[in-house]
Each structure stands twice: as C-alpha cells, then as structure tokens.
Structure 1
Amino acid sequence: MAPLYEAFPVLNSGHLEVSSIHSIYYEECGAPNGVPIVYLHGGPGGGIEDTDRQYFDPSHYRSVLFDQRGSGKSTPHASLEDNTTWHLVSDIEALREHLKIEKWIVFGGSWGSTLALAYSEKHPERCLGLILRGIFTLRREELLWFYQKGADMLFPDFYDPYKAAIPEEEQGDLMQAYYKRLTGDNEEEKLKCAEAWSRWENSLSKLIIDPKYIERAENPQWALAFARIESHFFVNGGWMKDGQLIEDAHKIKHLPIVIVQGRYDVVCPAKTSWDLYKALGGAGNSGVEYKILNEYGHSAHEPGIEEALVDAANKFKSIKA
C-alpha cells in the first residue's frame, strides 16, 4: 500500500462568509485543473491539519479542505449559533459554488463520514464518488456506546476521569451534563470539561495508546471547540431522524464508494460501517468496496489506515470530473 504523499504547499486559501455570523477558512492544493476532491474533517470541531492534504496526489487532484463552523481558523471560534449538520451541508455547497466546481469526490472520516453522507444524500448529483473512514452515523446507540456505557468496559482507567468531571447525580446522562457545562458561564469549569471530554476521545482513537495524541486535549483553544461543538451536535442528534443516514443510503448506491474501517475501532465500532455497507447493497453492489483492517483502530493517522486511504484516492484517479 502507498504511504502519504510528501508535504506540498497550499496554492490558495481564504475565508468565505457563509452567513452573517460565520466565515469558514478554506485551502486549495495540488493541481489547479485537477479532479476536485473535498476533505471533510472530524469532530465535529476538530479542524484540518497540514497532513490532511497528503492523501491526494498533487499532480492529479485539486484538493479542497476547510474548517467547519467554529473550528480551526474559521470564525467565530467555538461558536454554536447556527451550527448544525444542515448548515454545514449548505456550507459545502456554498464553497463548491464559490470555487466554480461542478462535481467533486467527497472524502471524510469519523464525523467527516457523517457529514459526507449527509451532503451526498442531499446532493448526489454533485458527487463523483465517496471515500469514507471510521463510519459514524450519529445514531443514538453509537453515541451511548462511547459517551455513556460500552467503551468504558474496555478502557475503565481512561473512563473514570471522564466520568468524574461530572457530579454523581448527573452521571446518568453524561453528554447532557457536559453540554450544560461547556455552554455555561463558569469559564474554569468549561475548560476543565473541555479537556476531560477531549482527553477521553483522544485516548481511545488509536489501537495502541499514543500519549502525544492525548496531549492535544491540553490545548484549551482546540479542546474547547472540539468538546463544545461535539456535545452540541450529539445532544441534538445531529438535527436528523435517528438512523436517517443509513435509511437514505439508497440515494447514493449508484456512486463509487470505498469504506475503510479499523477492526478495533472503539470510537466508531465496525458494526456501523457494516450496516452502511449492507444498506448500499453489500456484496451485490460492485461499486462499493468495504475494507476492514484487522490491525488498526479509529485514527486516520495509524499507518495502515493512512495507506488504505491513499490507495482509495489513487484508485479514484480513474474518475473523470
């Protein structure tokens, strides 16, 4: 399998005003006249990183990356106002129109896969294909597994500090309790909860615990956006019917799709990707490829996951814009 491409520069960057409140930061990289591909980052609230563009051959792809509302370099920072799944879907369309792109490949992992599905199911005519990793569809059972009861059975030593940040009488609904504090007026408590929430998620993102990855939670600016925006989306169920993205998968069955899933992904367990694969037609749909990697977890930054994503992008070189 192929490694990440060597680092290469951003060709063009800027901010696009998508509402009276929000301005999103975006980057264009690679070949100016190449096949367009849009990268959707995780979280929600995670923001893009420099290595995110390195999945895409810069001699072939015109890659577009952006920070979703409230994330990264987008403004206002960590804002929850007018920040929903459907606002983000509209932002993707606004960015496509701004860059005068007719159709593009959609690439997203974790929450990015959620947003990729929401966007493609609403605008299938704008999609050339999808590359998805660590599938997350925001079903209630998925949220409860990770943030309430399930993953704690595997990582009790990391779960206890996450749980302990909330008073015992509110521990029956940890997502709601965190959201209450992350949107409250007590700045000290807000930052404490942002770090605890982010540390729990980062701790479980790789199959082998990575202390440096966990350290990201110590950056208060990053952790606050990550935790606030995630909890905001999760307590509101993504502003869609439970199971909607799986039920509406038939709308994109005609598109070429690659699903990359770590077997031991604790954040977004493999069952969700399998449910999506079946909804897309499973083995009966030759346009859908399901890759489950037996030695990896959730993070896109695990070597085998990175290589599988580069391979998927290289395979899509046969797609013409």
Structure 2
Amino acid sequence: MRVLYPPVEPYAVHQIAVDEPHRLYVEACGNPRGVPVVFLHGGPGSGCTPDHRRYFDPDFFSIILVDQRGAGRSRPLGETAANTTWDLVADLESIRRQLEIERWMLFGGSWGATLALVYALTHPDHTLGMVLRGSFLAREEDLTWFLVGLRRLLPRAWEQLTGGIAGCGVLGPLIDWYHAALHGEDRQPSLDAARRWTEWGGQVVNWHKPGSRENGGRGDESVEQLGHLLAKARIETHYAQHRYFIRENEILDRIDSLPGMPVSIIHGRYDLTCIMESAWLLHRAIPGSRLVEVADAGHLIDDPAMISALVEETDRMRELLWGKKSANERK
C-alpha cells in the first residue's frame, strides 16, 4: 500500500488580490520547473493543509495549493459576497496567468472535483488532465441525497441535524434555515448551527468506521478553530442555497465538449457523501476515462486506502505526462 510522499515546504507563497474584498492564499511546492498540478479543495470552504502537498511526486510536479475565496488562509475568512463558482473559475485563470503557467493538471475531491470539471469545461486549452476523487455533480438529487435521503441510514444523526426545523423533510426549507442561522448577527446561535451542520457531515463521512464519530464542535475550540468552523459552514450553505451557481445537470450536459485528455475518477466504495453513481456517470460520459473503485475507503482523502489509490494515480499521471516535460528535466 502506498503512503504520502515526505513533507515538503513551499518554494513560493503568494497573496493574490482578486475582486474586492478577496485576497487568495496560493503556495507552490515541489519542482519549480515541473509539470504544474493545482490542488482544488472541497467544502466549498475547507481550505488546504500541508498534507495536501504530499499526494504528488515533488521531483516531478510543481504543486500549486489554492485556498478558495473565504477559505483557509484566504481573506476575509468566511466571506460569501462575490463568491460563486464562476468567481473561483476566474480566480484559477488569474492564478495561472500570474504564475506563468500555460497548462496544468487538476486534482480535486468532492466539491473540488466539481470545480475541476467546470474549469476544464470552460478552459480546456489550459487543462492537461484531471484526477477526480469523490466526484460531486452538484445536481438537486445529489444535494437532496446528502441532506434528506440519508435520514433512512442515519436517523439519529439526521434528527440532531433537523430538530426544531419546520419542513425539514424537504431540501429547500432545511437549507434556508441553516443559511439564515449561520448568517445571523448573533454569533452564538450561528456557532450552534455550525456545530450541528458540521456534526452531520462528520457522521456521514465516518458512517462505515465502527465507533468513529466526527467532532463538529463541543465548546472547547480555540477562537481560531471557531472562526474556521463557522466560515466553512457559511460558505457551504451559501453554495448549497444557490445550487452551486450552475444549471441543473450542467456538468453532464456539457461533458461531450471536453476534449481528449487523461481523466482518472477515484471513488471510495463506502462514500455516502458523494455516491458512486456520480463517478459511474462521469466515467460513462468521458471516453477513455479511468474509473477506480477503492474497496476499503469512504469519502475522506486521508483514508489509508484512498491515500494509496491517489498516490498511485498521480504517479500514473506522471508517466502519462512525462513527454510534457522539457528535455533537461528527464534526467
């Protein structure tokens, strides 16, 4: 079984100003002259971590990590104004141009896979290929499954998510309640809502792990942790309420326009957050794509079996992209 590459530090860190009031945190690691790969985090609103640098061979890849608007080390934290899917696509283009990258590989999981697909469909000439983990198609049925359909498998956790919310058995009222609660002026009710929202997501991603329980917040967090907890929940509900700012079924409707490129679709067998059907539909719709079902993994990127599958896949991409490197790098 493969493990992560050794820790690596950035060779460059940027704070890139985009639309007011946003400034994006961007870092580059690995080989400055290597094949560029951009890591697209999930959430939306999760941000990147140092371990996200370690899914790629640092001798071959120039590894670009981007904290999307309002997430991680980008500022303002949790800001939802001027924060849409199309803003994020435009940000990636701004970053690509500023870093003088002609084309790059996209690596995205969950919401990051959604963003990778939308970017590739919009800017195919700048996309070398994609590795997609836990693919999320951002359809109404995908969101309904996550917030309503899963009550049949996780009734106790769903009751904790929805207790006291009128009309919670329908997607719209449930999202509207959380969006209002998380964006209220009174901070404590907003934090309480953020804990409930986060706890639900944790229960879903860990459902297959005996005795496992995600801590969505129990009152002992630092001020910084509370800020990130609330920011992520706000951004997630902002995107959910607006149905991710794309048309219903837009990705599958446009996928025929994607030109030929290497596309790897990696999905955990026990992923309930983003169900296997999405990966299968993408695989069927993208000629030549590679679908890998990871038998012992769920949704999380750091499940050991998922780590192994992803590192193997980026190594495979390394071989496919070898011809894209300059001759003096083939030593």
TM-score by length of 1: 0.93
How far has the Cα of 1:199 moved from its partner?
1.3
**Do 2:131 and 2:263's aligned partners in 1 also have CA atoms closer than 8 Å?**
yes
Report which stretch shifted further, 132-141 or 197-206.
Answer: 197-206
How far has the Cα of 1:4 moved from its partner?
0.7
Change beyond 3 A, Cα 1:216–1:303: farther
d(CA) in 2 for partners of 1:267, 1:274 = 15
Residue 295 of structure 2 aligns with which residue?
294
Report which stretch shifted further, 252-261 or 209-218.
Answer: 209-218
Residue 153 of structure 1 aligns with which residue?
152
Residue 229 of structure 1 aligns with which residue?
235
Report which stretch shifted further, 29-38 or 292-301.
Answer: 292-301
**Do 2:195 and 2:216's aligned partners in 1 also have CA atoms closer than 8 Å?**
no
Provide, for residues 112-167 of structure 1, a one-character-per-residue CA deviation record: whole Å limited to 9, x for no partner.
000000100000000000000001011000001111x2112112222221112x43
Is 1:167 the counterpart of 2:159? The answer is no
TM-score by length of 2: 0.91
d(CA) in 2 for partners of 1:203, 1:81 = 29
Give the 3-state SS of the residue equivalent to 1:66 in structure 2. strand
Residue 14 of structure 1 aligns with which residue?
14
**Amino acid of the structure 1 residue aligned with 2:62:** R
Q: How many residues are paired up?
A: 314
**Amino acid of the structure 2 residue aligned with 1:256:** P
Residue 188 of structure 2 aligns with which residue?
188
**Amino acid of the structure 2 residue aligned with 1:122:** T
Change beyond 3 A, Cα 1:90–1:216: farther
Report which stretch shifted further, 296-305 or 81-90.
Answer: 296-305
Give the 3-state SS of the residue equivalent to 1:118 in structure 2. helix
d(CA) in 1 for partners of 2:210, 2:158 = 14
Report which stretch shifted further, 64-73 or 184-193.
Answer: 184-193
d(CA) in 1 for partners of 2:167, 2:204 = 26
Q: 4+ residue runs of structure 1 moved beyond 4 angstroms? A: 209-213, 215-218
d(CA) in 2 for partners of 1:255, 1:216 = 42
d(CA) in 1 for partners of 2:169, 2:155 = 15
**Amino acid of the structure 2 residue aligned with 1:17:** A
Residue 123 of structure 2 aligns with which residue?
123
Map 1:28-177 → 2, pairs under 5 A = 28-147=28-147, 149-164=148-163, 166-168=164-166, 172=170, 173-177=173-177
**Amino acid of the structure 2 residue aligned with 1:155:** L
d(CA) in 2 for partners of 1:59, 1:146 = 39
**Do 1:14 and 1:27's aligned partners in 2 also have CA atoms closer than 8 Å?**
yes
d(CA) in 1 for partners of 2:2, 2:290 = 18
**Amino acid of the structure 1 residue aligned with 2:156:** D
The answer for unaligned runs of 5 or more in structure 2 is 326-331
**Amino acid of the structure 1 residue aligned with 2:109:** G
How far has the Cα of 1:289 moved from its partner?
0.3
The answer for unaligned runs of 5 or more in structure 1 is none
**Do 1:36 and 1:63's aligned partners in 2 also have CA atoms closer than 8 Å?**
yes
How far has the Cα of 1:251 moved from its partner?
2.3
Kindly, what percent of the aligned residue pairs are identical?
A: 34
d(CA) in 1 for partners of 2:65, 2:217 = 21
How far has the Cα of 1:185 moved from its partner?
1.6
Report which stretch shifted further, 216-225 or 191-200.
Answer: 216-225
Provide, for residues 235-260 of structure 1, a one-character-per-residue CA deviation record: whole Å limited to 9, x for no partner.
11111111001111122251100000
d(CA) in 2 for partners of 1:215, 1:145 = 21
d(CA) in 1 for partners of 2:35, 2:112 = 20
Provide, for residues 71-123 of structure 1, a one-character-per-residue CA deviation record: whole Å limited to 9, x for no partner.
01101110000000000000011010110000000000000000000100000
Give the 3-state SS of the residue equivalent to 1:290 in structure 2. strand
Residue 242 of structure 1 aligns with which residue?
248
Change beyond 3 A, Cα 1:310–1:213: farther
d(CA) in 2 for partners of 1:135, 1:26 = 23
How far has the Cα of 1:10 moved from its partner?
1.4
d(CA) in 2 for partners of 1:136, 1:209 = 25
Residue 200 of structure 2 aligns with which residue?
200
**Amino acid of the structure 2 residue aligned with 1:261:** H
Residue 23 of structure 1 aligns with which residue?
23
Give the superposed CA RMSD.
Answer: 1.7
Give the 3-state SS of the residue equivalent to 1:291 in structure 2. strand
